[in-house]
Structure 1
Amino acid sequence: MLLDFLIDYAWVVWVSLILIFLVIEVFTLDFTFLMLALGSVAGLATSFTPLNFWVQIVIAAVVSVLLIFAVRPPLLRRLHRDDDPALSNIDALLGQHGTVATDFVGANGYVKLSNGETWTSRLTDATSDHRLQTGDRVVVVSIDGATAVVEPAERTAP
């Protein structure tokens, strides 16, 4: 019964798959489901031939895999070609220089970074014995929550 339906209305199955894949592609924008939809178009095209439904599935799968590996990577490169290479968030802070804004008490204090932001900061474990005073130069080596982990700038010079 189901096999007879698939044989008689295979085109309906292919059109449904194409629509489902296209809707998913609209939300993911990764070109994977677009390639699956195009593979389903190949399955739809073969449904109008006397080929068995299982052969249609194989043809759709082969076309989809070929498109995913041959067409998708160049499309993704072209899409991301003009992406902004500027770092953001934590990545933009790592390695940034700053100036001690208030004397460190123990290993904790405040630093003003070169981007103008003032951060709560602490020294790295390796440099926690250093005494930092207002005006000393530091460099950010990591971010721990809302705290910039810093070390004296002369320590990071080669």
Structure 2
Amino acid sequence: MLPDLTEYMWIAWLSLAVIFVIIELLTLEFTFLMLAAGTLIGGLGVNLLGGVWWLQILAAAVIAALLLFTIRPLLLRLLHRSSGLHPTNVDALYGMGARVVAAFVDGRGSVRLDNGEQWTAEIADGSVAPAIGTRVTVTAVRGATVVVAQTSPENPTERGTES
């Protein structure tokens, strides 16, 4: 005689939940995590309470759908709330203030950026060569050279302190 397979339905629910968790670890979008929770709470929960197989499936589907449409959007919003773009490396130099440390000769000189780095600098087209100690702003980066323009006193993009 064959055993009643519904007695072992808890193994199927547990296996399905583990598969969903493994897929979630690969996708990282909270969809399969909600399906795993529905499987455990609905399917396995009703199974352990002695519910029939169709009630287990119905409970798993309803709970998974509720979690997908209520909890998942909240989790995604929380996850993406602090993921704004922060400029790094060369992108962080655009608009940064600097101070001229070596006189400009033939359009090239040296500046110390507000982050402490010293760079070779070129004067932006149409700008006057600034004197040593003058505040300038980075307008472009060309390889290992920054292009600078003199900062006007009321320029709100000026960063750093006077030293």
TM-score normalised per structure 1: 0.57
Deviation of the 1:116 alpha carbon: 1.1
Asked if 2 retains the 8 angstrom alpha-carbon contact of 1:42 and 1:63, the reply is no
Deviation of the 1:132 alpha carbon: 2.5
Asked if 1 retains the 8 angstrom alpha-carbon contact of 2:14 and 2:44, the reply is no
Give matches, 1:5-16, under 5 Å.
10-16=9-15
Partner of 1:62: 65
Deviation of the 1:22 alpha carbon: 4.0
Q: Residues 10-29 of structure 1, C-alpha deviation per residue, up to 9 Å, x if partnerless?
A: 54343234334445666887
Within the candidate set 122, 125, 129, 1:128 is matched to 125
* Matching of residue 41 in structure 1 with residue 43 in structure 2: no
Compared with structure 1, are the counterparts of its residues 149 and 56 closer, same or farther at alpha carbon in structure 2 (3 Å cutoff)? farther
Compared with structure 1, are the counterparts of its residues 155 and 27 closer, same or farther at alpha carbon in structure 2 (3 Å cutoff)? farther
Q: Distance in 1 between matches of 2:39 and 2:73?
A: 16
Asked if 2 retains the 8 angstrom alpha-carbon contact of 1:25 and 1:32, the reply is yes
Give matches, 1:7-156, under 5 Å.
10-23=9-22, 34-45=33-44, 48=47, 49-52=51-54, 55-56=58-59, 58-65=61-68, 66-70=70-74, 72=75, 76=79, 89-90=88-89, 92-104=92-104, 108-123=108-123, 127-133=124-130, 134-143=132-141, 146-154=144-152
Asked if 2 retains the 8 angstrom alpha-carbon contact of 1:101 and 1:135, the reply is yes
Would you say how many aligned residue pairs link Structure 1 and Structure 2?
A: 144
Q: Comparing both structures, which one devotes a greater share of its residues to helix?
A: 1
Q: Residues 103-156 of structure 1, C-alpha deviation per residue, up to 9 Å, x if partnerless?
A: 445655432112211124445xxx412232443321134556654443211187
**The residue matched to 2:152 in structure 1 has which SS?**
helix
Amino acid in the other structure paired with 2:15: S
**How many percent of aligned residue pairs carry the same amino acid?**
34
Runs of 4+ in structure 1 displaced over 6 angstroms? 26-30
**The residue matched to 1:129 in structure 2 has which SS?**
coil
TM-score normalised per structure 2: 0.56
Asked if 2 retains the 8 angstrom alpha-carbon contact of 1:14 and 1:43, the reply is no
Residues 112-121 or 100-109, more deviating: 100-109
**The residue matched to 1:37 in structure 2 has which SS?**
helix
Find the structure with the greater CA-based Rg.
2
Q: Distance in 1 between matches of 2:23 and 2:144?
A: 37
